[in-house]
Amino acid sequence: MTRIRAAGAAAILILSISSCAKPEEVKPADAKAYMIEHVQPAAQNYWDAVQYVSDEKGAREIVPTNAEEWNRTVEAARALKQSAEILKQPAYAANRGTDWQDFAEGLAQAAARAETAAQSHEPDKVLEAGGTLYNICTACHEIYLPTPVRLGPDPHNSTQQ
pLDDT of residue 136: 96
- pLDDT digits 0-9 by tens, 4-25: 554 455 444 444 544 454 556 6
Rounded Cα distance between 60 and 70, Å, is: 19
Rounded Cα distance between 49 and 61, Å, is: 10
More confidently predicted of 136 and 5: 136
Say whether pLDDT at 1 is over 80: no
pLDDT of residue 154: 58
- pLDDT digits 0-9 by tens, 84-101: 999 999 999 998 988 999
Domain extent listing, the chain: 27-144
For the 27-144 domain, the top CATH level (class) is mainly alpha
Give the residues across from 60 on adjacent strands. Answer: 53
Burial pattern 87-116, b for ≥16 Cβ within 10 A else e, equals: bbeeebbeebeeebeebbebbbebbbbbbe
CA quadruple 122, 127, 128, 129: dihedral sign? positive
The C-alpha torsion from 34 through 27 and 107 to 134, rounded to 10°, is: -50
pLDDT of residue 14: 47
